[in-house]
Amino acid sequence: MKSYYDAHESGYKEIKSKGYVGWGNVKTLEELGDPKTLEYLRSSVNQWVDSPAGKNALDLGCGTGTTAFTLAKLGFAVTGIDVSETAIGMANELAVKQNLKINFEIGDILELQKRNEKFDLIYDSHCLHCIVFEEDRSKVLAGVKASLAESGVFILDTAVVTNNSNPTGGIETLRFDNDYILWHKTKPSTARGVVEVDGQHWCAQRRFYPSAKVKEEVVQAGFTIKSVYFDAQDESGHGMLRLILS
């Protein structure tokens, strides 16, 4: 593991070994994906993209392909990137099963600027909240900005908290700090994002900011907020912030 986000690979190896096709213990393509997320994606494309046919879309942190499949079915030429080799292998297999042609690539969204490619739609497929450190998040947002076509749309779909919500769910191997970083207990490691606190080793896992902080961050990165939607997941204040940006 070179960086904290390479830890996703072991999650996908486990998903694959159990015969699942994605997160949430799902075994079939029909069950794949959160219905509310997919509906939001479809209706946002409907509202904000003038005819997807012939346009291209980039799915950030595509995992096993859930939202990339939705975008391809809407008519986009889709590229999906994910840091996990296992996830990309599974996404390719699932695309073949559906007769969908999608360009799935193993890649790091911190390196978007190096692609030198423009997209009409960029969708953050629940990936930005996996990018923890401020310098990494700025790099991702600058990469998205540089990769967005002039009249392109960036849909940011990211998990947020309110000031008093605690996303650890009481699990002892997780820690949520005052900077909104969720850490998981790990073995000693030289990977970037692993720290030692009182003899215990912790790996950075998520950045669950409050909504206002995410909005500040995207404006600072040069985006204009066109629409805001909050999907509350539970009574603790934890939920998905969904922004349409240009």
Task: Find the length of the chain.
Answer: 246
Q: Does 125 bind ligand SAM (CB under 6 A)?
A: yes
In angstroms, the CA 222 to CA 214 distance is 13
CB nearer ligand SAM, residue 22 or residue 152: 22
- The distance of closest approach from Cβ of residue 36 to ligand SAM in the complex, given in angstroms and rounded to an integer, is 12
Q: Scanning residues 9 to 48, which ones bind ligand SAM (CB under 6 A)?
A: 22-23
- The distance of closest approach from Cβ of residue 155 to ligand SAM in the complex, given in angstroms and rounded to an integer, is 12
Q: Which of 5, 119, 154, 208 binds ligand SAM (CB under 6 A)?
A: 5
Q: Scanning residues 155 to 194, which ones bind ligand SAM (CB under 6 A)?
A: none
Residue with the shortest CB distance to ligand SAM:
61
Residue-by-residue DSSP string for 1-65? --BGGGGHHHHHHHHHHTT-SBTTTB-SGGG-S-HHHHHHHHHHHHHHSS--TT-EEEEET-TTS
To the nearest 10 degrees (0 to 180), the angle between helices 8-17 and 85-97 is 40
- The distance of closest approach from Cβ of residue 144 to ligand SAM in the complex, given in angstroms and rounded to an integer, is 12
Residues in contact with ligand SAM, shown as a per-residue x/- string from 48 to 87 under the rule CB under 6 A:
-------------xxx--xx-------------xxxx--x
Residues in contact with ligand SAM, shown as a per-residue x/- string from 83 to 122 under the rule CB under 6 A:
xx--x--------------------xxx------------
Strands 119-125, 148-160: pairing is: parallel
Per-residue tokens: 118: 């423009």
